[in-house]
A and B are shown apart, each in its own frame.
Chain A
Amino acid sequence: MTRRLSDIVVGVVAVLISIVVFLVPFAFIVIQALKDVRESSDRSFALPTSWHLWDNLVEVLSTRDYMLVTAFINSIILTVASVTLLVVFGAMVGFVLQRRPSRWTGIINFFVLAGLIIPPAVVPTIWVLQGLGLFKTLHGLVLIEVAYGLSFSVLLFRSFIATVPRELDEAAIIDGAGPFRLFFTIVLPLLRPVVVTLIVTQSVAIFNDFTNPLYYLPGNKNVTLQLTLFNFQSQFNTSYNLLFMNILLITIPPLIVYIFFNRQIVAGLTSGAVKG
């Protein structure tokens, strides 16, 4: 495969543009995070005259009684719990919908699609949560995230289960496997690729979710990472260095995920999107 000159020229131009458009904002975050209070307040792109990585890190972590640390823990609990439930329920529902069509299948399919489109009604949801005693709790928010994410994962699983040969189920049933055994030992292992993509995409989405914690998890006790950013935006009005250090910190987890799961993310998003 030989490259023509024009390919190289276009590539170089594209790289230059991409640096300006896509890398500068991230460089900006890093630079601001390294400055001291006075220098960061002018928000210029100049390199800091002195480096403050460690000072800023310690200060942002210790603000408001180590709120950021609590938030990190909360966000991780939220993400792990929601994604686990999403995978299990999504796979089960997808399996049943794909394998056992019944009178209800059409209606359920309709609700699944509706769940993808309808914007959640906020205040009545709070009302229901209060009725259940789950408002302002982390469990409540986990349920919310599961409810909102379930449509996507059901669709993803259903289209993938369609590619698993039905003969496999039949063989297992003949060998005496019950429905649960069939699902957990035969089907679920075969779904590994789609489980991985679902875990990766949903954990990034839930980790970055801002709107739902804002509504359903007010108060400082159960703060999540995205909310700290929001709180600090007003509190750190004058200390941009800390604000951007916070942004930098919460950008690191998705970055790590991205580096390791780049391929799965892209594959997952496109397969879910195009087939769904």
Chain B
Amino acid sequence: MLFLLPTFASLFFSLTRWNFQSATFIGLDNFRQFFHEQNLYQSLINTLIYGALTSGLKVVLGLLLAMLLTSRIVARGYLRAVVFFPVLVSTVGVGITFTAMMHPTAGVINTTLALFHIPGPGWLTDPHLALISVALVDVWKGVGLATVIYMAGLVSIPTDYYEAASLDGATNWQKFRSITLPLVMPATTTVIILSLIGGLRSFDLIWAMTRGGPGFTSDVIASVIYKQYQAGFYGLSTAGNVVLFAVVAAIIVPLSLFLNRRTTEA
């Protein structure tokens, strides 16, 4: 009830100008306003960039880390623990920590780079970089989960395949391309879907690190929803919610159908 009723109510209220007491029907004006205002429109683009970037990086890094951690290297247990732990830490805490570390002059990252005479960029103050910096922190925090899912996928691949391939004289790259990659496809599907859902809805990390700034350059839909809500534009905020819902559904549903079909074929 707490979930479904608001979802349907949101469809109605997004069409109105609304302040809890009265709802004036204004048709699609909220949506028109949403797409016309530059920074609101920008937030939609940012959401897509953020989602694509985080889930893409999580897939690549997660697979690499998982292959590393299922091979026979030393200190495997320690590495697994370390990679996974950030998943459990408070997002806001992580955000604040990295905000301090990414400070343009005093932050640890840039003072370290300065030791090697590399001028560090203003990670969170540069309008072009802020969103990407936040996305990188998101990857840092979330890659452990992707790695664990991939590890489960890799372990379930029978070793016979690799042995047969070795007998046939396959190189490591060939083994990776024609055995590992297709057979971890279910894991890839899960990682992509999970991190896309998370990335598109992401709010707390962005809010803790930049609050959508500088300007509106790192605003995503979820942070716009909160800003409009704070400002009292409930109708507009709800319209944002509907847009977010539409975006998530429009991306996730076809993608999961597509990926699942490929998985069953493989």
Chain A residues in contact with chain B, CB under 8 A?
Answer: 1, 3-4, 7-8, 10-12, 14-15, 18, 21-25, 28-29, 32, 42-45, 111, 115-125, 127-130, 143-144, 147-148, 204, 208, 210-211, 214-215, 225-226, 229-230, 233, 240, 243-244, 247, 250-251, 254-255, 257-258, 262, 265-266, 269-270, 273-274
**CB distance B2 to A3 under 8 Å?**
no
Residues of B within 8 A of A120 (CB): 3, 6-7
B63 at the interface (CB under 8 A from A): no
Given A43-B103, A124-B6, verify A3-B72 contact (CB < 8 Å).
Answer: yes
Q: Is the CB of A148 within 8 A of B140?
A: no
Within the assembled complex, what's the spacing in Å between the Cα atoms of A273 and B152? Answer: 10
Q: Are B75 and A11 in contact (CB under 8 A)?
A: yes
> Can you add 4 more A-B contacts, CB < 8 Å, to A147-B3, A265-B88, A270-B149?
A118-B249, A123-B229, A123-B234, A247-B90
Contact A269 B149 (CB under 8 A): yes
- Given A11-B73, A257-B88, do A32 and B203 touch, yes or no (CB 8 Å)? no
Q: What 5 pairs between A and B have smallest CB-CB spacing?
A: A11-B74, A121-B10, A11-B73, A124-B6, A124-B9
A21, A45, A119, A270: the one contacting B201 at CB < 8 Å is A119
Considering the chains assembled together, what is the distance between the CA atoms of A21 and B137 in angstroms? 11
| A121 engages B108 (CB within 8 Å) | no
B15 at the interface (CB under 8 A from A): no
Of A122, A215, A247, A266, the contact of B96 (CB 8 Å cutoff)? A247
- Residue B45 CB within 8 A of the other chain: no
Q: Which residue on A lies nearest to B81, using beta carbons?
A: A262
**Docked complex: B74-122 residues within 8 A CB-CB of A:** 74-76, 78-79, 81-86, 88-94, 96-98, 100-101, 103, 106-108, 111
